[in-house]
Structure 1
Amino acid sequence: MKFNILRDRLLAGLNDVMKAVSSKTTIPILTGIKIDVTNEGMTLTGSDADITIQTFIPVEENGEQIMDITQTGSIVLQARMYNEIIRKLPTNEVEIEITNGYATIIRSGKSEFHLIGLDATEYPQLPEIAADRQFTIPTDLLKSVIRETVFAVATSESRPVLTGVNWKVEGDALICVATDSHRLARRKVNLENLPNDITSVVIPGKSLNELNKILEDTNNPVQIVLTNQHVLFKTDDVLFFSRLLEGNYPDTSRLIPEEFKTMITINGKSLLQAIDRASLLAREDRNNVVRFETLENQTVEISSNSPEIGKVEEQIQVESLEGENLKISFSAKYMMEALKAIDGQDVVIEFTGAMRPFILRSVADDAILQLILPVRTY
């Protein structure tokens, strides 16, 4: 195998696939990146067995020659070392040649590196994915869906299925739900051509976070293909495969209350800032708990009390306050993350009592719903 390539274009491809490579893998060859060169261009593949990212670099793009291929072939090179070498080469012209067996020479300017590669046939095959279960979603919408849900997944592995986001298809709606059993984030999206033979999958939160980093570089729609074990996201020249989590996701719809005793409409940004200030003292306390109380004259009070440090109280005017008076305590972190997901719009907060879950919705749009369990302090 022998070819020349522009260093900056190779680095851009490596940046994508390196996101899937883990030094902690139990399969030694997965610490490497697989390089396949054909007459059409180069395919780079990185994987940690859960996530696989593949990117394609064509010989020519927009009339610019990116690669010059003398001989095709395949090799696996140690990912971290290969990436570091390419990053630090002196010129933008890179020549890569594989000689006897898997001996690899990387030349640029007056630099010459010799690496020992591995047999590409030992690298795990990608899962076979049929294209008939495919639907398309705009990139900015997919990024919003991930941002508004993935923060609420469980971080503990005690219930592995809760470390993922449940994607459910109901008619023309894709419903994405994440919960760690103390809070819940739900986003509904109406899309065309949703698959009706696969109605529910659980995508690892870690996979969605890595996907989001790759989506920063594209504005083209993302094609999504679902199977029973994997999901594939296709963007531009990048394929992003993720293993799905096994197990039944709990039925979260029954957690969402139907009736409310107190309803408050409030500016989301001013509430977020007040809770952020109150949490300065709450952070010092182990639980990071903030209290919320309704007062007279369309006002609520946010407060926090730390016996060793002091206390903070702040009153905020609300746009409307209906129903019973209320005193409730909750995690400042959970409330701030929920408000950030609703993104500074006016929010409706609906309470069913001091020790019952409460929900947050945007005034403008009920596609986003956040639910939080209160903390017992009174």
Structure 2
Amino acid sequence: MKFTIQRDVFVQNIQHVSKAISSRASMPILSGLKMVAFDEGVTLTGSDSDISIEAYIPAEDGDNQIVDIERPGSIVLQAKYFADIIKKLPETTVEVSVNDQNVTKISSGSSEFNLNGLDPDEFPRLPEVEQGNAFQLKTDLLKALIKQTAFAVSTAETRPILTGIHWGLEEGKLMCTATDSHRLAMREAALEDSPADMEFSNVVIPGKSLSELSKILDDTEDTISVTVTDNQCLFKTKNILFFSRLLDGNYPATKNMIPTSSKTEVQVQAKKLLAAIERALLLSRDGKNNVVNLKSIGESTLEITSVTPEVGKVTEEVACDSFNGEELRISFNGKNIIDALRVIESDDVTIQFTGAMSPFIMRPADRDYMLHLFSPVRTY
């Protein structure tokens, strides 16, 4: 194998693929990056037990020559060394050549590296996914769906199913839900081009997989194709194949958790509420005590307080845009509210309370496709 390639394009795609490569791989070959050169370009592949990513670098992009293939072939190289080498090479182009003993020479300008390669035939095949039954969505919408739900997944392995984001598709609407049992984030999106008869109800994609996918995708209105099977999900862009294993098990029936009525409804400016809660937590930076107390003062003001016994107390008042219902007094994990307010992307939020020890809802005041649910904290 021998080819010359533009270094900046090479670096970008190596970084994409490296997101699927673990330094603690179960098999030595999986700590490597597979590279295949053929007449049309170069593919790079990385994989672990959960994620597989293949990036395709075409030989030409319009009038721009990206790769010059002199001799097709394939090799697997240790990813952690290979990525650092390519990133630090001095010139704008890189030449890669492999001899019969799988020794790979990487040269750029006056720099030359020789890396011992691994047999590419030992590298596991990518998952086989039947791509006939797919739906499409805009890349920027997918990134928004991930951003507005992934933060709420559980980080505890005691309930593995909660480390994923639940996807359900029904009547052309995709519903994404994440919960760690203390909070819930729900985001709905209408799909323009999904097959009329395509539905699924218990697809759970690891939150880590979707977060890594989001890092690779650009904020564009380009279309991404999504294919779901019994145990895999494939995200396909023009030059990227991203496979994720699905989580086994049944996701909780989250719709049953959402209150259908409220005793108190408050509308408040999101930025003001966010800033006030951030200030309330300044005295609990060790993270052991994120409890914020909230109570109503009349029908125009909310009082926010936080107490850290060994440090002190903070009190702040926030004006309401509107207040309807009973007097309010509740305590909650302030960090959870902050996480939600940072992704809501609305000037005003509506919060619905059903009692001091009952879950409460927060949603954008001007749209109905997003919802956050929080469990209160008992402070006595």
Structures share fold, TM-score greater than 0.5? yes
Distance 1:328 1:300, change over 3 A: same
Q: 2:344 aligns with which of 337, 342, 348?
A: 342
Contact 2:169 2:199 in 1 (8 A): no
Shift, 1:200, TM fit: 2.3
Number of aligned residues: 378
Cα deviation per residue 1:154-209 (whole Å; 9 max; x = unaligned)?
Answer: 00000000000000112121110000000000001111315625332000000011
Q: Does 1:10 align with 2:13?
A: no
- 1:108 maps to 108
Partner amino acid for 2:98?
A: I
Contact 1:21 1:79 in 2 (8 A): yes
Partner amino acid for 1:116?
A: N
- 2:368 maps to 366
Shift, 1:377, TM fit: 0.8
Shift, 1:141, TM fit: 1.0
Cα deviation per residue 1:234-287 (whole Å; 9 max; x = unaligned)?
Answer: 123111111111111010111000111111011111011111111112445722
Q: Does 1:182 align with 2:182?
A: yes
Cα deviation per residue 1:280-326 (whole Å; 9 max; x = unaligned)?
Answer: 12445722100000111411101111222221111111011111111
Quote the Cα distance in structure 2 between the aligned partners of 1:285 and 1:161. 25
1:8-157 equivalences under 5 Å are: 8-157=8-157
Q: Unaligned regions of 5+ residues in structure 1, if any?
A: none
Cα deviation per residue 1:201-225 (whole Å; 9 max; x = unaligned)?
Answer: 0000000110111113654121111
Quote the Cα distance in structure 1 between the aligned partners of 2:281 and 2:23. 37
Q: 1:235 aligns with which of 223, 234, 237?
A: 237
Q: Which moved more, 1:188-197 or 1:104-113?
A: 188-197
Shift, 1:93, TM fit: 2.4
Contact 1:220 1:236 in 2 (8 A): no
Partner SS, residue 378 of structure 2: coil
Q: Does 1:265 align with 2:267?
A: yes
Partner amino acid for 2:322?
A: S
Partner amino acid for 1:36?
A: V
1:173-212 equivalences under 5 Å are: 173-192=173-192, 193-194=194-195, 196-212=198-214
Quote the Cα distance in structure 1 between the aligned partners of 2:288 and 2:60. 57
Quote the Cα distance in structure 1 between the aligned partners of 2:344 and 2:7. 41
Partner SS, residue 200 of structure 2: coil
Quote the Cα distance in structure 2 between the aligned partners of 1:101 and 1:218. 43
Quote the Cα distance in structure 2 between the aligned partners of 1:108 and 1:98. 15
Q: Unaligned regions of 5+ residues in structure 2, if any?
A: none
Q: Does 1:316 align with 2:318?
A: yes
Partner SS, residue 86 of structure 2: helix
Percent identity for Structure 1 against Structure 2: 50
Q: Which moved more, 1:297-306 or 1:357-366?
A: 297-306
Cα deviation per residue 1:63-95 (whole Å; 9 max; x = unaligned)?
Answer: 111111121111101111111111122212222
Partner SS, residue 188 of structure 1: strand
Quote the Cα distance in structure 2 between the aligned partners of 1:306 and 1:13. 47
- 1:163 maps to 163
Partner SS, residue 42 of structure 1: strand
Q: Which moved more, 1:229-238 or 1:29-38?
A: 229-238
Contact 2:21 2:46 in 1 (8 A): yes
* TM norm structure 2: 0.96
Contact 1:218 1:236 in 2 (8 A): no
